[in-house]
A = this chain, B = another copy of it.
Amino acid sequence: MFLRIDRLPVELPVSPKVDPVAAKNVQELLGGRFGEMSTVMNYTFQSFNMRGRDKIRPYYALVSNIAAEEGGHIEIVSAAINSCLNGPRTEFDDEDPSKTPFKDLPGGIFGGHYIASAQTALPVDSRGMPWTGDYVFSSGNLILDLLHNFFLENGARTQKLRVYQMTDNPAARMMLGYLFVRGGVHALAYAKALESLTGVDMKKMLPIPNIGNAVFPEARKFMEKGNHMQLYRFSPNDYKEAATIWNGAAPDGYIEGLGGKTELEFVDAPPEGGNLANLAGIASSFAPNYAPEEIFEIANKLYAKAKNL
């Protein structure tokens, strides 16, 4: 079972402008082959399907627990897309829908952001093509699945680095910086798991590409807090066995002299997280409705009727 916390892993800044081109590019990191839909679903299905689980719980716990963290990653990538699409609007936008409020959009956008959704994220890639279950690899062979995951994390990092180079939008970049660091943790965790099973020192191959996270100011900020050393536990009571893999000294080069820690740390709780932005309504996009005052009043009355919330 899954629980939900109404918070983002970290709070994102408001995008200073409506930036649909950035939003389109960031979609690759949500619904592309190497997007967060892929990370969450690969690890989730591998955890559902792991055979002999009782005998290999450290690996089961690691994969299951990272799967849970990735749920927050589809959320934060979606939040970054939504921030880009929303821009600084906080007041209710009530442009006349019989005019053409969305006529002069730039060429490089994803039209679905304006037609299918009300300028919000969808589980598609930067082409607008949907994420597909064929991106899930769940062979049941523990080493092959872990090798896949190690490759997936590095492929995802490479694409994130490239999207970083395509935008200076601060909401997108804060999300990227955070995920450079968290993806780095996951890549290292899978490297350590593989090493424990095969003796092959996969850690030495990192980072792929060969440029450290600390080069990127938005990532560096999180490393200074030591986030690159921490694997969180995303469960009230379970998956503690992941700590048997995530421990010991961090490999040379991984620390980059930041955060003041040298030992990997298993944090027995999720991160505190940050606030979700409240997306402004857009009356001209009928979201949540054209003349929304009526439904606001209905919602208020529901509250009034309920006593102890």
* Docked pose: A59 CA to B41 CA in angstroms: 27
* Min C-beta distance of A256 to chain B, whole Å: 14
Q: Are A237 and B162 in contact (CB under 8 A)?
A: no
Contact with B along A239-263 (1 / 0, CB 8 A): 1110111010000000000000000
* Interchain CB contact under 8 A, A155 and B144: yes
The one of B50, B56, B118, B294 in contact with A296, judged by C-beta atoms closer than 8 angstroms, is B56
B140 pairs with A120, CB closer than 8 A: yes
Chain B positions within 8 Å of A136 at CB level: 122-123, 130
Interface residues of A in 140-196 (CB under 8 A from B): 140-144, 147-148, 150-151, 154-155, 158-159, 161-168, 194, 196
Across the interface, name the chain B residue whose C-beta is closest to A202.
B200
Given A41-B123, A130-B134, A144 contacting B25 (CB threshold 8 A): no
Q: Is A53 an interface residue (CB 8 A)?
A: yes
Chain B's nearest CB lies how many Å from the CB of A141?
5
A18 contact set on B, CB distance < 8 A? none
C-alpha gap A151/B137 in the complex (Å): 12
Q: Which residue of B lies closest to A78 (CB)?
A: B48
**Chain B positions within 8 Å of A111 at CB level:** 24-25, 28, 108, 126-127
* A279 interface hit (Cβ, 8 Å): yes
Q: Which of chain B's residues have a CB closer than 8 A to the CB of A282?
A: 51, 140
Instruction: Classify chain A: how many residues form its interface, as a range.
Output: 35 or more
Within 8 A of B (CB), among A104-141: 105-112, 114-124, 126-141
Residues of B within 8 A of A138 (CB): 116-117, 120, 122
A117 contacts B291, C-beta separation under 8 Å: no
Q: From residue 187 to 234 of chain A, which have CB atoms closer than 8 A to chain B?
A: 194, 196-202, 204-205, 208-211, 215-217, 234
Query: How far, in angstroms, from A286 to B211 measured CA to CA in the complex?
Result: 9
Q: Is the CB of A68 within 8 A of B306?
A: no
Chain B minimum-CB-distance residue to A4: B68
In the bound complex, CA of A52 to CA of B57 (Å): 43
Q: Which of B5, B21, B59 contacts A235 (CB 8 A)?
A: B5
With A and B bound together, what is the CA distance between A243 and B307 in angstroms? 10
Chain B residues lying within 8 Å of A284, measured Cβ to Cβ, are: 165
Known: A31-B133, A52-B281, A165-B284. 8 other contacts (CB 8 A): A28-B111, A54-B278, A103-B167, A117-B140, A140-B286, A141-B158, A144-B154, A211-B286
A-B contact pairs, 11 of them (CB 8 A): A1-B71, A45-B123, A52-B278, A56-B296, A98-B215, A124-B133, A140-B285, A142-B295, A144-B286, A147-B150, A243-B309
